[in-house]
Amino acid sequence: MKFIKYIFALTSISIMISCGGGDQKKEEKKSVKIGTSTSTSTNDENTVNVGLTGNDLMQFSAKEIKVKAGQKVNLTFRHVGKMELAVMGHNFVLLKPGTEIPAFSLEAANVGKDKDWIPNDGKDVIAHTKMIGGGQSTSVTFTAPEAGTYDFICSFPGHSGLMKGKFIVE
């Protein structure tokens, strides 16, 4: 952002210098327009806010999440149920390509609470939230990986059969 503004400022100055007399006003107007549209689209395309919930019936609110490669993803995850973390914990775990959901879930169950249900120090994971219980909310910010279709799951023991979806990067 700052960088773009800086470039824009330099461009305006050079336009002002190169144009003399009556043309100056016209050129200034034109360059302001360009500057405005550039900064707006940069904002919109660089950050995306994603809202996701999980409930007491082991359901995510979305089966598909779509973002664009390189976007900064602000994902807010809420547990809209009432059950406690120990019996109905939920998290959002975005798996790296090639990670098998059943095998990962088994390892997650094995490491359990001590590692927040993320096995192998997170080497199979692109991003994840912490595990939360009913009524709680959490968030995670990460950069969307390269284009492709990725799996997201809840890694609480026994949940990934139902609690899974596709994270699609375009």
Site string for Zn ion, 77-96 (x = CB under 5 A): -------------x------
How far apart are the C-alpha atoms of 150 and 1, rounded to whole Å? 29
Which is closer to Zn ion, CB of 17 or CB of 57? 57
To Zn ion, the closest distance from the beta carbon of 55 in angstroms equals 10
Partnered with residue 49 across adjacent β-strands are 74
The dihedral through the CA atoms of 77, 80, 84, 89 has a sign that is negative
To Zn ion, the closest distance from the beta carbon of 149 in angstroms equals 22
Residues 111-130 within binding reach of Zn ion (CB under 5 A): none
To Zn ion, the closest distance from the beta carbon of 100 in angstroms equals 18
Q: Which helix (H) or strand (E) holds 142?
A: strand 137-143
CA distances to 53, 60, 88, 131, 149 from 165, in Å: 12, 8, 18, 17, 10
The structure tokens listed for 32 are 């302001």
Closest residue to Zn ion, Cβ-based? Answer: 154
To Zn ion, the closest distance from the beta carbon of 162 in angstroms equals 9
Which is closer to Zn ion, CB of 150 or CB of 152? 152
Residues 144-163 within binding reach of Zn ion (CB under 5 A): 154, 156, 159
How far apart are the C-alpha atoms of 29 and 71, rounded to whole Å? 31
Binding residues for Zn ion, rule: CB under 5 A, are 90, 154, 156, 159
